[in-house]
Structures are given as structure tokens and as C-alpha cells.
Amino acid sequence: MLSTLKNAWKIPDLRKRILFTLMMLVVFRLGANIPVPFIDKKVIAEMFEGGGGGILGFIDLMAGGAFKQMTIFALNIYPYITASIIMQLLTIAIPRLEALAREGEEGRKKIAQYTRYGTVIFALIQAIGISVGLFRNAIIHQSGLSMATVVIVLTAGTAFLMWLGEQITEYGIGNGISLIIFTGIVSRVPAGIMQVFGLYKTGNVSIIEILLFLIIATIIIAGVVAIQEGQRRIPVQYAKRVVGRKMYGGQNTHIPLKVLMAGVIPVIFSTSLLAFPQTLVFFFDGKFAEVVSKYFSPNGNPGVWIYSILNILLIIFFTYFYTAIQFNPVEYANNLKQYGGFIPGIRPGKPTADYLNRVLSRITLVGALALALIASIPTLIFSFTNLNIGFGGTALLIVVGVALETMKQIESQMMMRHYKGFLK
């Protein structure tokens, strides 16, 4: 890996992209330390002391500490993720949006524009909920101007993060939105290590529990790499054809169907949706809050089981959903038929599409189940131990998955320039 980065640094274009990505991430971390005006941090700190081990702590982990500090990036990029989920679902349900998605680059730009509008709307709603509901007592001056300022600053912060992520995707290396989440999680690692050390000194955590966490982390890293790199190679042959005086075709190749085409996107989507009902707990008191905390929170009983089951089902659903968006068996089969390619033993056209769809469904199920188990098992284990540091299976999975995807993008850029990298 170090050799790959060293070789990438020698390429001027890649060096510019890496530097641009790093600078944008530095801007993100700087913004994550700029406080929102009219906010009393002492009140927020007291709220985290009372419920920081639950959803507040998890949201703060994903936001890189910006939520607890109530900075301009407190909402992080999750309104954008929510808008993306809804827009992708609507693309299937609404014929007009489905037609836009098939129009190529111009259609995708239009859908991206709708997603931006949705991001601003969801950020505005969430900012209003935080100012009027969750952190109302933390606002120093209870006036319309103060609340409007907080709402506008939080909404603008999310809109700026969305723009920042798009700039990284276009001019940098890797997926900008995923890298922002990655940076937020990684920035909390030193605090997590100090917290574990403090728990060990006070006797709340044993050395066995720390070793258990390290073993689980190693298994997660190995598991993510295995399913990300795993693929099913379907052999393809091209018929020989004569064009003029030259003969074309007659080659043997393969279709590399990845076990997990969706990467860690299903985990990010699932986490965003499951965080929504838990967030409502802090807006409403009484019976509703008790029901949600007991049955839909990873800290409740039987909530931890219900949360894990829902997490597994959502990850499986989004894995299939995102894979269907990325790979169309019918279109692939038609392209094979057009260029004289065929799968041995399978007739071109519809039989080939059915075969690809059948194989893809089976290997996607394996990848989805593996991804769901890797994300859920640590949650169950940590719920029965004192090792409550927040940096659990989901966070580790996102970090490893995003790092691997980014390295693969660097690798592909280097292969275009005939460099030998580290991913063989």
C-alpha cells in the first residue's frame, strides 16, 4: 500500500487529485470546529452525559464530534443520504424519473439537481427539529432571530458539505460523500482510545474485553476485504467473424461479477434510516419515547435484537437495490449479443440475461448476508459487555470499506498509466 501511494505521488495528475482531496477534508475538519452562534455548549454536554451512550453518541461519532460541539457541520451529510435514498426509490416508482435516469449524463445531472433540492429541504426540517425540539434549551436567547440563525447556519453547513463531497468526487480521489463520513469517524479514533484507556484504569473494562474488541475489529477488516474483493468469473467467448481481409473475435474472456457491488453504501443507508426513530425520542416525551427506546434502540431490551434484525433486513434490501442500479443483466446480455459474445452452454439474448440475473442474485445474497452479519454481530456483543466506546462494527465496516474503495480508485488510475500497484 505504501509503495502504491509512493508511486501515485510521482504522477503529477494523481498528486494534484490527492492534494485536492486532502485539502477538502481539512476544510471539513476546520468547519467541524466552528460553533453555531447562540448555543450554550454546557447544556448540550449535560444532554450527552444523560444519553450520550445511545443515539446521540452514535450521531456524534459519524459527524466527527461536530454534533456534540454543535458546530456548523452538526447535521453532517445525512440529509443528503436521505434525499439520495428517496430519489433512488422514486426513480423506480415514477416513470418520468426512470426515463431521466436512462438519458445518460444529462439525465443523471437532472436527478442530481433534484437530490440537492431534497437535501436542502431535509436539512431545513432537521435543523428546525433540533432548534425547536432537541437543543431548544441550549439556545441562549429564546427569540425568533436566534432560532432562525441556528436553522440557517445548520442548513447552510449541510449544503456546503454536499458541495464539498461533490467536488472531491469530481476533482479528487474516491467518493466524496463516503470520504467525509470516513474522515468524521477516523477523527474520533484518538478520543475512543483514550476512553478505553480511562475505562481500563477505573476497572470498568477488563483486558479480556479489550482483546475481544481487537479480535472483532480484525475479523471485520478481514471480512470486509474478503467480500469486497470476492467475485464470480463467468466465462465468455466471442465468435470469429471476417471483416474485409481481417478476422476478428475468437477470444476467451470472463465477466467479473463482484460478490458485493454495492460496497458499504447499504450500511450507510441502513444506519441513516434506523437513526430516524431514535432521534424522535429526544423530540417527544412520554409513552412514545419509552416505546422507541425499549423496542427500537440498540441500548434497549429487546430493542437490541429488533434493531439488529431490522439492520440485517435493510442491509440486504439496499444491497440488492444498489446492485440492481449498477448492473443490468438485460442490457449486458444485449451488448454481448451485439458484439458476438456468448456464455458457453447459454443461448444469447434472454437466456443469457436470465442466467446472469440468477447468478447475480445468488452471489449478492452471500455478500448481503456477510455484510449484514459483520455490521450487526459487534452491536450484539458490545451490548452485553462494558466496552461501550461507540466505535463498533458499523463504524469499522464503513472505515475499512471506504479505505479499500479509495485505494482501488488510486489503483485503477495507476493502471491507466502502466504503474504496478499493490492490489493484485
- Residues 21-50 have pLDDT tens digits of 999 999 999 988 898 888 887 887 777 665
Closest CA to 375 of 264, 296, 244: 264
Share of the chain above pLDDT 70, in %: 83
Determine the pLDDT at residue 191: 76
Specify burial of residue 20 (Cβ count, 10 A radius: 0-12, 13-18, 19+): middle
Instruction: Show the 3-state SS of 262-310.
Output: CCCHHHHHHHHHHHHHHHHCCCCCCHHHHHHHHHCCCCCCCHHHHHHHH
415 or 147: which leads in pLDDT? 147
Task: Say whether pLDDT at 248 is over 80.
Answer: no
Per-residue confidence (pLDDT) for residue 53, from 0 to 100: 46
SS3 112: helix
Task: Locate the domains of the chain by residue range.
Answer: 1-187, 189-391
Return phi, psi of residue 234, to 5°: -100, 120
Cis, peptide link before residue 302, omega less than 30° from 0: yes
Confidence of residue 422 (pLDDT cuts 50, 70, 90): very low
How many whole angstroms separate alpha carbon 83 and alpha carbon 330? 28
The Cα 301–Cα 359 span in angstroms is 39
Same fold flag, 1-187 and 189-391: yes
Where is mean pLDDT largest: 17-31, 79-93, 193-207, 391-405? 17-31
- Under the banding of pLDDT at 50, 70 and 90, the label for residue 161 is very high
Amino acid, single-letter form, for residue 70:
M
Is the pLDDT score of 347 beyond 70? yes
Asked if residue 241 has pLDDT above 50, the reply is: yes
CATH classification of 189-391 is 1.10.3370.10, yes or no? yes
- The CATH superfamily label for domain 1-187 reads SecY subunit domain (1.10.3370.10)
> What gap in Å lies between CA 141 and CA 190, rounded to an integer?
35
Cell numbers describing residue 255: 465477466
